[in-house]
Structure 1
Amino acid sequence: MASRHGQKKVKEEAPELVKAREERESAILKDYLGLKETLKEVIDSQKRDNDALKVTTALLRKSPDYYTVWNVRRTILKEGFLDSADDDTANQIYTNELDFVQENLKLNPKSYWMWNHRRWCLEHMSQPRWDRELGMVNKFLEIDSRNFHGWDYRRYIIRQLDLVDKEASDNVLDRAQAEFDFTTSKIHKNFSNYSAWHNRSTLLGKLAEAMTEEEKQSIVDNEFDLVKNAIYTDPEDQSAWLYDLWLIGREQKSISVLGASVISFHPLEIVVAFDQTVKLRNAFTVSTRLEHVAVPLEGEWKATGSDASLGSVWIFQQAPGAVYGPTVEVLFFTEDVCAVRAGSTLQSAVCFELETLNQDLNEISGQLTRLVVGKNLMFDVTKRIGPVAGPDGTIETQPSSSKHLVTSLTSSESLEGRVELLQREIASVRELIEIEPDCKWPIQILSTLLSELRETVSIHSMQAKEIDDECIELQEKLISIDPLRQERYEDRRTQLVFDRETLSIIKDSKRFPEIEFAPEQPRGLDLTMRGLTHIPTSSYFIHLHSLNLDSNAIKSTRFLRNLLNVRRVNLSNNLIERLEGVQHAPSLEFLNLENNMIAKWEDVVAGFVFWREGKLARTGCSVKVLLGLNPVIENEGGENVLEQRWEDVGEVGIEIQWKSNELLLAEQEELEQQLQGAKDDGGEQGSFKMDGSRRVSTTVVEFAS
């Protein structure tokens, strides 16, 4: 007899019971489908009577999340009942709707559409009972204190009550205190109530506005005690940890302008680079001096890459026929730049004065490499120091000092308070990690706090290096204990490694808003075997001539679009599946993509489909691409088939090498041995050449004079 150990027991139903249940379900489905058909007739006929309203009532009782029915119901109410109703009648209709929604909420209290319909009713009533609504939502939160729909609706009701009392600030403040106490009671009942923690953070800011510094410090201390009690009770729950991070706060990051440079003279092109992705609210002003008179220079700003509306590298190209003098000036203000990353702002207006007389324009050929200024980006410019007049003529002054965030509620004139808090919290988290060494949340918070501490010290100090090393180790530990979120930790580790490996490029700006390149810049950078999954800030590499990224885990080549000066890039032994961004790398001459994961012909061609429109086509440059050991070779029928298909692409100035360098060297050695053997046998020495590559075009396109 077979063992039933470990098998789930299933109670067998009598055939007559199964048949009865199936008949009931069939009848329910038939009734539901019939109601849907009737609703369609209501919509088509534009009925606005009680019968039409009853159809929506019946459907919503069966399916309260059917948002289309809620929309139809509102239309029926507005056009069939409310348009001709007086205030008393209209209020009674809305009250009936509130009762109807409340009944359905008991069945499904987490329905967006029912809470939304309730708001619609209240906002159209002449005298809504906001206090009654607060009592109603209290009952729902008693049933389920973690219902975020209820919490969101509660905040909405409080906002409406505050609007009613906008002239009575004491009432508003008392209400905020009452809500704060309400969150306290809910948190004490369940520390894992994220909605209560979140609501608490929104209320504290409001309460702190009326507090003295001593009162703020007292409430901050109490909050840290509360959150630590929650964390030590359940260190795996994220709610208290997220509140802890909010309480500690993060200082606002500024947008840094890495520099500006003239990169082309026919037409005039100017590049401005930032340390992060930005959008332009207003186009930067470009002007030139003609006969000692400042004249605006017409042209267009575009970001590199497929989306010209955002990027970290922006290029200005003059309008056809525009004339410029010996210098051009680029000017932009804080409100002209908007960061994609929330919280980042440009700290002050920036002005660059760029010389255009250092080049003999008669000698400039079509090769872009002759056009690119050969120095570091920051040293191609003279940054004008001093106040800059704004659009209204006023002078934008630099702040003499800035306050540093200590917690989300307090700040200090110096960094001492911030450092003291971070060190205290780091010590506390370390203690918890000793107790719970494999708990992911304390490790994540420790990494975040260490990163914040690193912002307070010199980036080239030994302490910064120790922090970087520890943060990288923490990410590696997180990868091992939480493999489901491996990619997130790998990306964070990549950012940390990138910051550490690019320290030589960045000047020790400590905590100044502006990041600057170091005086001495390398022409090449070797980042092999660093475990990088992407290039976080590719604008840092805008001045490089060569970049070696061999043996990493990089998945995309889109970062190439920002490497305006790069000649040689090695991306062999990575995880790249598609060739992208190459048409925006104007100086590229050699690209190694051997042993990646490019599997389809379309993913090869994708990198060159805009070649003729890109910089390489205009300048006549060519690039050699190594694609050996990619799956595309076998998938598409081998090197010979790919060579024939490549001819169909046309003359685009690209040399493709399908075989790997290792294979070519092995074949060359074998041929040399055969030749040597033939010579030893008395035969004639032949002349053979095996390069495994195919030149598609050597056409050179020069600028018109």
Structure 2
Amino acid sequence: MHGRLKVKTTEQQEKEKKIERAAKLKSYRQAMDTILQRRSEGHKDETQLKISAQVLQSNPDITTLWNIRKEILLHLLEKPVEEGEQSIDKDTRLNKELDLTQACLMINPKSYGAWYHRTWSLEHMVSPNWNKELALCNKYLQLDERNFHCWDYRKWVAAQAKVSCQDELEFTMEKIGENFSNYSAWHYRSKLLPILHPGDNNNTIQESTLHSELDLVQNAAFTDPEDSSAWFYHTWLLGKEEEKLSIIYCLIQDKTIKLALTRPVQDNQIKIYINEKEIALSWKGEDERYNSLWETEILCNSGDTVKLSVQDQNLEFSQTENGKELVQGAGWKSPEKRFINLPNEKTETVLKQALDNCSQLLDLEPDSKWTLFTKTLILLALDSHKNHQDIVEGLSKLMKLDSPRKNYYQDFLNRVKTEYRIEQGDYEAITSDHQLSDNKVIYHSQYLPALHV
């Protein structure tokens, strides 16, 4: 049939591709053999750079070649210029590396090696163009707004370029506005807000900022309830503040002291004084270096004043003749002093509105796991005692709805139950709980010896 285009069969196409792949593989192996052979012979020259660049533009993920290039570049940058040789400015040479990495990123925008080599090249430049790098980030984030390699690179570039945290926060808002499902933008936001609007504890934010962020993230979450990005950020906003270091209790029995703390410390951070004189003691714990429960033997007389000091936390007591003595400190938990404190009136209003939104969405989508999980977290933040049963039921239902993460919810449930029972002083319930006894981790175990007293 004259004039008609002949279409190759699938078998013919596959055969040609196989021949092409074999040729590329042969060429790649030859190039790698040449590079490695020349390296073993000590060659650190332009030829080596040229051959490695050709291979990397075909496959940017060969970490060995990027490392060989660094080795060559360091040699060439420090090598004195010999007579007759053309001098190459340091930044000119490294700009060629930037061109190479950009070409490689066009092939694979998520190449670890290419992004890292670009960072390395800029670190060794005299006058890097940070505005150009920011523009490059914008370009790649337009192609894929969730490229976390580029987001990490942008954070570093922004820091080098002295871009303000406020400008970066506005950039995250721009990206979130383009696509609510931008996990990297939400995550970057969680790193910027504690710097711009710090709360009382580490990695927390001011209450007014928390309220506005909850409003923002709810709009995103309820736009697409099945997308996890906004829900994860919502979880971070509701996260429990890190507990401040304080002494829970000091248990004295038969000249032995057990000291429990809300957070782990090193043994050299614990000081003990008898009648105002510091005594050197050998403390023991499960981990020799870092524990929240320490034990030591002490020799003192009945009636001696003993003082414990851990950083700025202090506890004083008198040694008794016989039996046990339990001295409770500021970190002791009770129904009034909880692991999760009750919110103030304004925060409570915001949380109740979020709870109502979750309830409405669950009426429409009863099996929405992210909505149910967020509702459970809100109940926990509002009043962990009053809502305890609802929290337990929510986590139990999530084990069925989201079976791949069943162990996570079970672990979360164990922690919630343990905290509730410690606050109630219910030692028997903790030790007899079948779920906890089968689990390798018992949360807040430093409280248990005192509950048993």
Contact 1:197 1:239 in 2 (8 A): yes
**1:169 counterpart residue number:** none
Q: SS where residue 58 of structure 1 aligns?
A: helix
C-alpha deviations, 1:539-561, integer Å up to 9, x for none?
Answer: 3321577xxxxxxxxxxxxxxxx
1:59 CA drift (Å): 3.1
Q: Identify unmatched segments of 5+ residues in structure 1.
A: 1-10, 163-171, 210-215, 335-347, 360-372, 385-403, 407-413, 456-463, 507-520, 546-564, 566-705
Larger Rg: 1
CA distance in structure 2 between the aligned counterparts of 1:499 and 1:218, rounded to whole angstroms = 28
Partner of 2:432: 527
Match in the other structure for 2:265:
279
Instruction: Confirm or deny that 1:329 pairs with 2:306.
Output: yes
- Superposition pairs of residues 529-548 of structure 1, within 5 angstroms: 529=434, 533-534=438-439, 535-543=442-450
More helix by share: 2
**1:44-63 pair list within 5 angstroms:** 44-63=40-59
**Structure 1 residues 87, 24: CA separation in 2 closer, same or farther (over 3 Å shift)?**
closer
Q: 2-side partners of 1:528 and 1:81: how far apart?
A: 66
Contact 2:248 2:329 (8 Å CA) reproduced:
no
Give the structure 2 partner of residue 73 of structure 1.
69
Q: How does 1:74-473 map to 2 (within 5 A)?
A: 74-84=70-80, 89-162=89-162, 176-204=165-193, 223-247=213-237, 250-265=240-255, 269-275=256-262, 278-280=264-266, 282-289=268-275, 294-304=276-286, 307-317=287-297, 324-326=300-302, 327=304, 329-334=306-311, 348-355=312-319, 358-359=321-322, 373=323, 375=324, 379-381=325-327, 415-454=344-383, 464=385, 466-473=386-393
- Whether the aligned pair in 1 keeps the contact of 2:172 and 2:186 (CA below 8 Å) is yes
- CA deviation profile, 1:117-176 (whole Å, cap 9, x unmatched): 1112112211111111111121111111111111222222221221xxxxxxxxx55xx5
Q: Does 1:36 align with 2:32?
A: yes
Change (3 A) 1:88 1:203: farther
CA distance in 1, matches of 2:61, 2:274: 62
Relative to structure 1, the CA distance from residue 49 to residue 177 in structure 2 (aligned partners, 3 Å threshold; closer, same or farther) is same
Deviation at 1:35, TM superposition (A): 2.9
| 1:21 matches 2:1 | no
Distance 2:348 2:416 in 1: 21
Distance 2:348 2:267 in 1: 36
Contact 1:260 1:273 in 2 (8 A): yes
Deviations 1:256-288 (CA, angstroms, capped at 9, x unpaired):
5331133444xxx32112355x13273411233
The AA in structure 1 aligned to 2:400 is S
Identity %: 31
Deviation of 1:233 after TM superposition, in Å, equals 1.6
- Provide, for residues 497-519 of structure 1, a one-character-per-residue CA deviation record: whole Å limited to 9, x for no partner: 2234444417xxxxxxxxxxxxx
* Partner Cα distance (1:70, 1:20) in 2: 31
Shift of 1:200: 3.3
Q: Which residue number in structure 2 is paired with residue 400 of structure 1?
A: none
For residues 135 and 475 of structure 1, do their structure 2 counterparts lie closer, same or farther at Cα, with a shift above 3 Å needed?
Answer: same
* C-alpha distance in structure 2 between counterparts of 1:383 and 1:526, whole Å: 23
1:492 aligns with 2:412: yes
Alpha carbons 1:353, 1:383 under 8 Å: kept: no
* Corresponding residue for residue 622 of structure 1: none
Q: In structure 2, what residue type is equivalent to 1:273?
A: A
| Contiguous gaps of at least 5 residues in structure 2 | 1-7, 199-205, 331-339
Describe the SS at the equivalent of 2:122: helix
In structure 2, the residue corresponding to 1:300 is in which secondary structure? Answer: coil
CA gap 1:226/1:421 in 2 versus in 1, 3 angstroms: closer
Contact 2:300 2:319 in 1 (8 A): no
For the residues of structure 2 that align with 1:298 and 1:250, how far apart are their CA atoms?
Answer: 36
TM-score (norm 2): 0.82
How many correspondences in the alignment? 423
- 1:573 matched residue in structure 2: none
Partner SS for 1:270: strand
* Equivalent AA in structure 1 for residue 18 of structure 2: E
Check whether the contact 2:247–2:329 (CA below 8 A) recurs between aligned residues. Answer: no
Residues 208/148 of structure 1: CA separation in 2 closer, same or farther (3 Å cut):
same
CA distance in 1, matches of 2:51, 2:297: 62
Q: Deviations over 1:566-624 (max 9, x none)?
A: xxxxxxxxxxxxxxxxxxxxxxxxxxxxxxxxxxxxxxxxxxxxxxxxxxxxxxxxxxx
Contact 1:260 1:380 in 2 (8 A): yes
Q: What SS class does the counterpart of residue 262 from structure 1 fall into?
A: strand
Distance 1:261 1:218 in 2: 41
> Do the aligned partners of residues 544 and 142 (structure 1) sit closer, same or farther apart at CA in structure 2, a change above 3 Å counting?
closer
What's the TM-score once normalised by structure 1's chain length?
0.54
Larger CA deviation: 241-250 vs 231-240: 241-250
Note closer, same or farther for the CA distance 1:74–1:192 as it changes in structure 2 (3 Å cut).
same
The RMSD of aligned alpha carbons is 3.4
Return closer, same or farther for 1:193/1:533 CA change in 2, 3 Å cut-off: farther
Distance 1:38 1:352, change over 3 A: farther
Greater length-normalized contact order (CA 8 Å, ≥ 6 residues apart): 2
2:397 counterpart residue number? 477
1:299 counterpart SS class = coil
Taking structure 1 as reference, are residues 353 and 35 closer, same or farther at Cα in structure 2, changes over 3 Å only?
Answer: farther
Tell me which amino acid in the other structure corresponds to 2:446.
S
Counterparts of 1:527 and 1:188, CA distance in 2: 50
Residue 438 of structure 1 aligns with an amino acid whose one-letter code is: D
Q: Is the 8 A contact 2:418 2:443 kept in 1?
A: yes
Change over 3 Å in CA distance of 1:239–1:87 after alignment to 2: farther
| Separation of aligned partners in 2, 1:427 and 1:227 | 15
Q: CA deviation at 1:475?
A: 0.6
Judge conservation of contact 2:250–2:328 (CA < 8 Å) in 1: no
Q: Secondary structure at the match of 2:89?
A: helix
Distance 2:265 2:233 in 1: 31
Post-superposition Cα deviations, 1:233-269, rounded to whole Å, max 9, x if no partner, equal 211112112333444564442345331133444xxx3
1:332-367 Cα offsets, whole Å, 9 max, x none, are: 233xxxxxxxxxxxxx512233415x14xxxxxxxx
Q: Residues 249 and 502 from structure 1, CA distance in 2 versus in 1: closer, same or farther, beyond 3 angstroms?
A: closer
